[in-house]
């Protein structure tokens, strides 16, 4: 007992000394524990700010404070966020993103969707999915508005060369069999559509291609290149050996033969058995079009380029004309051109108006002369003033000579007068140069008296570009407006998916397409029952024997001026045409 009594106080002293002296690592451990408690307390308070789950917070704090107590059951993780907090956090973040995206949506003109608590984040427009929405919008717009149209425009410009390019070989070639050449020639001469109708002729693609590469021409002199009408194309030595300048009999024979061919072709145009034809002189070109072409109900013609002397000759022959590409207004002093810029008026009204204008000009001249004499100006000075004024007027009228603005448009009965004028026009036949004494070249898609059947020159080749292989098809010669749509229709029927075409234009004839129809036309006319029907219906019915198939006839009888364009490059892809 005495031993125990003395030993117990000593044990208490040892425990006391042990509790009072604490090691440094224990002090830092207690300090870190306090910091963790404070951080945990702040996080729990922030998470449960809008919840009534205070019991969970108290329990977690008591569990953390009792570090020395041992609990047999598993402790709950205090960092777990319940489902209510998750849902509120997602809604708050989505609303924040949408509120921040308002400016972006306004700039991109995208309509926002209404956000609801039940909608998913994928249905809302945010920065995360705005690019996908834009791509989808672009895809929808591309599908709704495809690039290109299903038809090609009409180009009245004469062309000298045309080249087709395709990544796949063309289903025809320039090496024709005997039957193919014969069938193509027969189909063109007899105006047969050998591709769509049942005939005994060869209906292969080679035969149909050969049919598209033929034209009618007069005159045809093998030693002279009569299209385009350029003297530089003819060899000087050859021209000197076979010159007709000094042989009057040859010149007269060529002229008589040309007059018969021109008269035959014009009569075919009047009875609507020829849709159009060209008269190519050395200094100008004339395009005659039948009634119904481009929706016009009357026969009409366009002449380009012209000069003041040519227009003055038309005025002297009392041929009324208009200048649709001339933008300047009517001038009183412009007696050469402006007096003839009335097409739709009657001849009597025009004659009276011209007489009134002449009387007014004479009165004005007399008044001016009398006023100058009253001022003491001598007669010689008055004559000089009048001469200089007349010269200024002539210079003003000649500013548009040989330009596209000088195009002249004639329609109705005036076209017959223009035909008579061209037959007797001395300026239509050159008197000097290599082509002296040679009449203008007549080009037509249908046969006429004295016409020569001329084939286009065709050449095939293969072009390599950056390891890409293309098949080329080149056509040379007088390329009339119906050649390109005929070849495009042939390629479409042969199921050629992709190709491009480039054209070399005859620059002096581009104003034919720039002038569109030449005048404002009415797209509707009244029949006998006073019901309005499209005017091109009559044109198609009247031109049923002009030599064109139904598709070409619909193409050239379209009254829409937007369908007339100058074609330099044409592309076909996915059944649609684009051009420039």
| Mean of the per-residue pLDDT values of the chain | 76
Mean pLDDT over 213-233 rounds to 85
Mean pLDDT over 410-432 rounds to 92
Which residue has better confidence, 89 or 158? Answer: 158
Structure confidence at residue 541 (pLDDT)? 78
Structure confidence at residue 332 (pLDDT)? 32
Residue 572 has pLDDT above 60, yes or no: yes
In this structure, the strands spanning 532-534 and 524-526 are antiparallel
| Among the ranges given (163-167, 242-246, 475-479, 561-565), the one the predictor scored with the smallest mean pLDDT | 242-246
Note the pLDDT tens digit of each residue in 14-50: 444 445 677 888 888 888 888 988 888 888 887 665 4
| pLDDT band at residue 230 using 50, 70 and 90 as cut-offs | confident
| Structural domain spans, the chain | 242-325+400-452
High-pLDDT (> 70) share of the chain, %: 62
Structure tokens at 456: 């286009």
| pLDDT band at residue 247 using 50, 70 and 90 as cut-offs | confident
Q: Exposure of 383 by Cβ count < 10 A (0-12 exposed, 13-18 middle, 19+ buried)?
A: exposed
Cis peptide before 228 (omega within 30 of 0): yes
Taking the alpha carbons at both ends of the chain, their separation in whole angstroms is 124
The structure tokens 């690019």 sit at: 131
Residue 70 has pLDDT above 60, yes or no: no
Structure confidence at residue 61 (pLDDT)? 46
Reported as half-sphere exposure (CB side, CA atoms, 13 A), residue 271 has a value of 8
Structure confidence at residue 346 (pLDDT)? 32
High-pLDDT (> 90) share of the chain, %: 39
Mean pLDDT over 400-405 rounds to 87
Residue 99 has pLDDT above 80, yes or no: no
The structure tokens 């003041």 sit at: 308
pTM > 0.85: yes or no: no
Kindly report the three-state secondary structure assignment for every residue of 476-539.
EEEECCCHHHHHHHHHHHCCCCEEEEEEEECHHHCHHHHCCCCCCCCCEEECCCCCEEEHHHHH
3-class DSSP assignment, residue 436: coil
């Amino acid at each position: 007992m005495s031993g125990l009594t003395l030993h117990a106080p000593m044990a208490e002293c040892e425990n006391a000394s042990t509790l009072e002296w604490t090691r440094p690592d224990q002090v830092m451990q207690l300090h870190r524990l306090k910091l963790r408690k404070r951080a945990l307390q702040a996080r729990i308070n922030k998470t449960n700010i809008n919840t009534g789950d205070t019991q969970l917070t108290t329990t977690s704090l008591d569990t953390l404070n009792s570090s020395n107590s041992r609990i047999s059951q598993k402790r709950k993780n205090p960092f777990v966020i319940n489902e209510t907090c998750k849902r509120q956090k997602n809604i708050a973040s989505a609303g924040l993103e949408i509120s921040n995206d308002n400016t972006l949506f306004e700039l991109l003109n995208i309509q926002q969707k209404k956000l609801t608590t039940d909608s998913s984040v994928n249905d809302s427009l945010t920065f995360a999915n705005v690019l996908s929405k834009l791509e989808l919008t672009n895809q929808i717009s591309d599908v709704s508005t495809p690039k290109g149209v299903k038809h090609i425009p009409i180009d009245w410009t004469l062309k000298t060369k045309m080249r087709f390019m395709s990544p796949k070989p063309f289903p025809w070639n320039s090496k024709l069999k005997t039957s193919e050449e014969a069938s193509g020639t027969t189909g063109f001469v007899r105006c047969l559509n050998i591709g769509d109708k049942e005939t005994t002729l060869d209906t292969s693609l080679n035969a149909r291609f050969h049919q598209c590469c033929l034209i009618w021409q007069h005159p045809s002199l093998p030693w002279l290149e009569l299209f385009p009408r350029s003297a530089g194309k003819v060899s000087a030595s050859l021209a000197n050996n076979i010159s007709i300048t000094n042989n009057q009999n040859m010149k007269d024979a060529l002229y008589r033969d040309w007059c018969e061919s021109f008269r035959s072709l014009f009569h075919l145009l009047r009875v609507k058995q020829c849709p159009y034809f060209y008269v190519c002189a050395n200094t100008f070109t004339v395009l005659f079009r039948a009634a119904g072409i481009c929706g016009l109900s009357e026969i009409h013609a366009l002449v380009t380029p012209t000069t003041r002397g040519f227009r003055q000759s038309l005025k002297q022959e009392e041929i009324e004309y208009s200048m649709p590409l001339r933008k300047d207004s009517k001038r009183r002093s412009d007696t050469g051109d402006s007096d003839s810029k009335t097409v739709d008026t009657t001849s009597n009204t025009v004659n009276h108006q011209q007489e009134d204008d002449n009387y007014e000009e004479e009165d004005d001249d007399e008044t001016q002369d009398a006023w100058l004499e009253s001022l003491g100006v001598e007669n010689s000075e008055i004559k000089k003033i009048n001469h200089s004024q007349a010269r200024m007027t002539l210079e003003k009228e000649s500013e548009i000579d040989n330009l596209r603005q000088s195009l002249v448009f004639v329609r109705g009965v005036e076209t017959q007068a223009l035909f008579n004028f061209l037959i007797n026009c001395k300026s239509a036949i050159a008197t000097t140069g290599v082509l002296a004494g040679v009449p203008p070249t007549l080009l037509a898609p249908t046969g006429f008296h004295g016409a020569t059947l001329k084939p286009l020159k065709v050449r095939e080749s293969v072009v390599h570009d950056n390891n890409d292989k293309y098949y080329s098809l080149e056509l040379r010669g007088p390329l009339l407006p119906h050649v390109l749509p005929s070849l495009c229709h042939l390629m479409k029927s042969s199921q050629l998916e992709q190709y491009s075409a480039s054209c070399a234009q005859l620059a002096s004839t581009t104003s034919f397409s720039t002038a569109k129809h030449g005048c404002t036309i009415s797209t509707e006319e009244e029949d006998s029952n006073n019901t309005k029907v499209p005017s091109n219906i009559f044109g198609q019915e009247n031109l049923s024997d002009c030599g064109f198939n139904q598709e070409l006839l619909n193409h050239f009888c379209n009254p829409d001026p937007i369908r007339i364009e100058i074609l330099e490059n044409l592309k076909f892809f996915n059944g649609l045409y684009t051009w420039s």
